[in-house]
Amino acid sequence: MWQQHDLERLQKRLSYTFRSPDLLKQALTHRSAKGAHNERLEFLGDSILGFVIAARLYHLFEKGSEGHLTRLRAHLVREKTLAELANEIEVGNVLKLGGGELKSGGYRRASILSDAMEAILGAIYLDGGMESAQRVILGLYDERMKSLTLDQATKDPKTQLQEWLQSRKQELPIYDVTKTEGQEHNRTYWVSCETRDGQQKTEAKGSSRRKAEQAAAEKMLSLLLGEK
Read off the pLDDT of residues 13-42 as tens digits, 9 standing for 90 and up: 999 999 999 999 999 999 999 889 999 999
**Cα separation values, 171 from 142, 168, 221, Å:** 41, 9, 14
- Active site residue: 42, 118, 127, 218, which one? 118
Digit-coded pLDDT (tens) for 178-224: 999 988 777 899 999 999 999 999 999 998 999 999 999 989 988 98
Question: pTM of the entire structure?
Answer: 0.71
State the pairing for strand pair 201-206/174-181. Answer: unpaired
**d(C-alpha 181, C-alpha 130), whole Å:** 37
User: What is the separation, in whole angstroms, between the first and last Cα of the chain?
Assistant: 42
Whether residue 101 has pLDDT greater than 90? no
Question: Is residue 46 annotated as part of the catalytic site, yes or no?
Answer: yes
Tell me 207's DSSP state.
Answer: S
Question: Is residue 88 annotated as part of the catalytic site, yes or no?
Answer: no
**d(C-alpha 101, C-alpha 86), whole Å:** 17
